[in-house]
Amino acid sequence: MDPSNSFESQAFVNANQLEQTETISCMDHNSYYAAAKGDIDFFKAITNQSLDLLRTPNKNTILHIYIAALKSGSDSTTPNAGSESTIRPTINEGTESTTTNFVKKILKICPSLLRQANAKSETPLHIAVGSESTSTLNAGSKSSTNFVKEILDKCPSLLQQANSKGETPLHIAARYGHSDIAEVLIKYCAQTLHDQDLEEGIEPVKEMLRMTNNEKDTALHEAVRYNHLEMVKLLINKDPDFSYSANDAGETPLYIAAERGFKDVLFEILDKCKSPMHGGPLGRTALHATILNYNSDMVRRIMEKIEGISRKVDNNGWTPLHLAAYFHYSSSIAKQLLDKDREVAYMKDTKGRTPLHIAAHRGNNHTMKIIVERCPDCCELVDNRGWNVLHFALKGGDFWCLERIMKIIEENRSLSNLLNEKNAEGDAPLHFYFKNTSLELPNNFISHPRLDKMAFNKQNLNVGDIISTVKHSSKEISEISVELNGLPQRVITLKEDTAKQEGEDGDKGSGDKEDEDWKSLLRNAAEAHLVVAALITTVTFAACITMPGGFASTGESSHPGSTLLRKNAAFKAFVITDTISMVLSSSAVFIHLLMPLLFSKNYDDDRRVGVVFLAFILILGAMITMVLAFVTGTYAVLMPSLDLAIANCIVGLTFFPIIFLAVRILIKGCE
């Protein structure tokens, strides 16, 4: 490597490091702590450097540090505040002069500090307005407002100077609820800028109140967002004629109050503002937001103050009544909306759906009843697909909602045409039911005398044809066919034609794949069952041949070769349970030997599942009796040692609670 190149590279690195060090500002720790304490004598002693050059990395001057370090009097009395009190001055009546005197003296030494902004473009006035020292309206409030007055007297231009976010001191005061400071700012604006701004045709106070930040929020937006009622009252009283338009998020102050449920703030805006704007995001109004928040008092007041707002729609065409129909808890609000203007029940959204359609689909029975009682003929309306209220109820899948509609139809016979009204595809509600849902139908639906069970759709299919294309078991089809009195067919097809048509539509492949997957699952289950059944048969047969306790030899008994424990009750139980287990498991083995025959085309899935389930029950019974045989056999052998025999029985019988827990877990998983 060339030494000269190495030297040049190192010099380049050092130069970069030097440049970076020069661009990062920092403050000496002594100066920092002196600023936090308010030690004016320390800064008077500095003669070789301008104080506005003393900055932290975030470009905070000593004035920023001092104001940010201010704490209210209550904070100084909290535990563990002793160490902090050495660098944090407190604000109360006794220290008011200390606080303001430091500011006065430091500004006398370096007046340019007043206009210095930090990295966030915040001047000392921004920090003073938003600091903790102004968080309470007590003894410290006077000191805080005096400080603001002192700064404004020194530099009036700071009154409307915005930070990097476009926020004026009034925005910050409104956000933190400092109404006393806001009042000082407003009074100062009225006194000093009155003559200047009148020439431009606008009052200076109103101009300041209407100023927006980078997100188009006014001071009122900030005050409402944080629920500062006194601040809201102050701002509205100073400019009640202004409408306050929406910010970048589409929120007006009225909408913010409605969405967040700030009832007192919302009432204040409605009562004091002459023409408040009520828009919100997604095209919604403050009334939409109030329904989302479910507050009937706010709903009532908004409808009283803003005429026609109940007919305003959002981007989806939903009126406030659509929203009330969507939520189950809003039936009382739906009643309020209809009492104000019943015609909103007939308004459709962008897809042609009325509030009644929404309520039927959501199963909102109470709201649906309220709408029908006041507007019975709105049941005649359909959406863009031709769906009526019955179609929506069937699609929603709520049995009680469908039953409620049927009761309405029975009470109003003029609405019985809904039973046979067809949608754009020609499907009446009965066709629609078998195509789209497995909902249980109410008896008064199928048995209704005006229900046309012979109706055909645009594909020339009646209910019977649709049933035959839906995957039900033969038992279910039979029950439905009997219930519908065996409807005749209009379109006659052979099985081969149906299979061919399914193949053309691409359905045959998916159907065959499902059948193969189902058969594969059954085969795997059968193989597992066969292994278990054969194992149980082997074990129980071997146990019966060997016999616990042994056999009697010649001379020991009048029956040579017989078991020694043949008169023992536990042994007898062993023999019986062991025999039952072997018979059950052998039967399961035999059934599984026949399983290959069940996968032929002559047997349906229900028959196959039934046989596999029967084998499973036999195996389960064989396992249970096998465990009982083990417990009784060991008990018979260990009877001379009774404690060991009982312990062995207890351990062996834990098999049954284990089975119970396993079955319970499986049942819960299925649910």
Q: Is residue 370 part of a domain?
A: no
State the pLDDT confidence band at 91, using cuts at 50, 70 and 90: very low
Residue 132 has pLDDT above 50, yes or no: no
Digit-coded pLDDT (tens) for 334-350: 999 999 999 999 999 99
**For residue 364, what are the contacts with CB-CB under 8 A and spacing of at least 6?**
325, 326, 327, 328, 331, 358, 401
Same domain, 459 and 530: no
pLDDT of residue 78: 37
Q: Is residue 326 part of a domain?
A: no
Same domain, 426 and 543: no
Same domain, 484 and 553: no
pLDDT of residue 103: 54
Nearest 5°: CA angle at 64, between 59 and 67?
Answer: 165
Q: Report d(CA 370, CA 358) in Å as an integer.
A: 13
* Tokens 């006794």 found at: 94
Q: Report d(CA 606, CA 640) in Å as an integer.
A: 53
Q: Is residue 194 part of a domain?
A: no
Q: Of 38-47, 111-120, 658-667, which one has max mean pLDDT?
A: 658-667
Same domain, 656 and 542: yes
Q: Of 237-246, 248-257, 563-572, 635-644, which one has max mean pLDDT?
A: 248-257
Is the whole-model pTM more than 0.85?
A: no
143: left (phi over 0), alpha (psi -120 to 50) or beta: alpha
Same domain, 485 and 531: no
Q: Please give the C-alpha separations between residue 253 and each of 95, 314, 319, in angstroms, as whole numbers.
A: 39, 18, 21
Is 547 within 8 Å of 559 (Cβ atoms)?
Answer: no
Same domain, 30 and 153: yes
Residue 422 has pLDDT above 90, yes or no: no
Q: Is residue 213 part of a domain?
A: no
Same domain, 533 and 637: yes
Is 570 within 8 Å of 580 (Cβ atoms)?
Answer: no
**For residue 585, what are its two tokens?**
């498991």
Q: Is residue 551 part of a domain?
A: yes
Residue 607 has pLDDT above 70, yes or no: yes
Type and span of the H or E element at 421: none
Q: How many CB atoms lie within 10 A of CB 292?
A: 19
Q: Is 350 helix (H, G, I), strand (E, B) or coil?
A: coil
Q: Report d(CA 337, CA 303) in Å as an integer.
A: 8
Residue 314 has φ and ψ, to the nearest 5°, of -95, -165
State the pLDDT confidence band at 432, using cuts at 50, 70 and 90: confident
Q: Is residue 137 part of a domain?
A: yes
| pLDDT, averaged across the chain | 74
Reported as half-sphere exposure (CB side, CA atoms, 13 A), residue 53 has a value of 6
* Tokens 């003393």 found at: 54
Domain count, the chain: 3
Q: Is residue 245 part of a domain?
A: no
Digit-coded pLDDT (tens) for 222-249: 999 999 999 999 999 988 888 888 999 9
Residue where a domain stops, chosen among 473, 492, 511: 492
Q: Report d(CA 304, CA 478) in Å as an integer.
A: 59
Same domain, 83 and 147: yes
Type and span of the H or E element at 72: strand 71-72
Tell me the residue range of the domain where 583 lies: 525-670
In angstroms, how far is CA 577 from the centroid of its own chain?
A: 56
Same domain, 654 and 567: yes
| DSSP state, residue 167 | -
Q: Report d(CA 293, CA 330) in Å as an integer.
A: 10
Residue where a domain stops, chosen among 144, 161, 178: 161
Q: pLDDT higher for 201 or 45?
A: 45
Q: Report d(CA 231, CA 229) in Å as an integer.
A: 5
Same domain, 475 and 530: no
Q: Is residue 502 part of a domain?
A: no
pLDDT of residue 3: 44
**For residue 624, what are its two tokens?**
């249970």
**For residue 266, what are its two tokens?**
């919302």
pLDDT of residue 221: 94
Residue 462 has pLDDT above 90, yes or no: no
Residue where a domain stops, chosen among 492, 517, 545: 492
State the pLDDT confidence band at 22, using cuts at 50, 70 and 90: very low
Is 347 within 8 Å of 311 (Cβ atoms)?
Answer: yes
Is 245 within 8 Å of 252 (Cβ atoms)?
Answer: yes
Same domain, 594 and 475: no
Same domain, 130 and 38: yes
